[in-house]
Chain A
Amino acid sequence: KAGVTQTPRYLIKTRGQQVTLSCSPISGHRSVSWYQQTPGQGLQFLFEYFSETQRNKGNFPGRFSGRQFSNSRSEMNVSTLELGDSALYLCASSLIQGGTEAFFGQGTRLTVV
């Protein structure tokens, strides 16, 4: 059974640009959550999607958005990139809503210069 797949693995963007990250969950999993990981703040929740609906959103500015498609694949978008957005963005999938039995992908390393 394939795990959670995140693409791309690495990204370098310039301040002010926008970026789209993709996540393919484990087959059969309908919940996809996104987390931002930085050395200073650790793992912080961005948002969770279940059956194409955003169920919860973390304390991030509106520049961070996401969506989920009917096949459960999810994308997150960050607009008007800032230097502080440099982080590892992790996607987790689970069978049910939320974080129970959540399995993470390898992440997308975003560097904003």
Chain B
Amino acid sequence: QQQVKQSPQSLIVQKGGISIINCAYENTAFDYFPWYQQFPGKGPALLIAIRPDVSEKKEGRFTISFNKSAKQFSLHIMDSQPGDSATYFCAAENSGGSNYKLTFGKGTLLTVNP
């Protein structure tokens, strides 16, 4: 059972454009939603995270939009740069429960063309 569905699998954007990656979850007990960025040969790096009490969180060029009723959240990368080319993972956790784990989406390979 895939609890976090991520789309698209791959995305090509021109420099300066907006990259949008979407995730949908099933478990309504999830209450922590981070995004990770991973470059080849590196571990995932925490980019930005949100909790369900807010609908949007922005950090620099990265914004998370959260829709609790639709059980969806998305990552927007404004003014995308070639250096943003990486694989992006959404994840979710029931931080108040006893699972103590992140459930990850399958990842989106982002390519930003110069």
Contacts and interface: CB of A to CB of B under 8 A. Distances in A.
Given A33-B100, A42-B106, A100 B95 contact: yes
Nearest to A91: B43
Contacts of A105: 43
Contacts of A7: none
Interface range on chain B (Cβ under 8 Å from partner): 20 to 34
A106 B100 CA distance: 21
B44 A45 contact: no
Q: Is the interface of B mostly helix, strand, loop or mixed?
A: loop
Contacts of B98: 55-56
A69 B87 CA distance: 33
B101 A43 contact: no
A90 B43 contact: yes
B12 interface: no
B100 A48 contact: yes
Contacts of B44: 43, 90, 104
Interface range on chain A (Cβ under 8 Å from partner): 20 to 34
B102 interface: yes
- Most chain B CB within a 10 A radius of its CB, from A6, A48, A50: A48
B93 A98 contact: yes
14 contacts: A45-B101, A56-B98, A56-B99, A58-B101, A97-B100, A98-B102, A99-B91, A101-B46, A102-B46, A103-B45, A103-B46, A104-B43, A104-B46, A105-B43
Given A55-B98, A99-B93, A104-B36, 20 more contacts: A35-B102, A42-B107, A43-B44, A43-B102, A45-B103, A48-B100, A48-B101, A56-B101, A58-B101, A92-B102, A97-B100, A98-B93, A98-B101, A99-B95, A100-B95, A101-B46, A101-B49, A102-B34, A103-B45, A107-B43
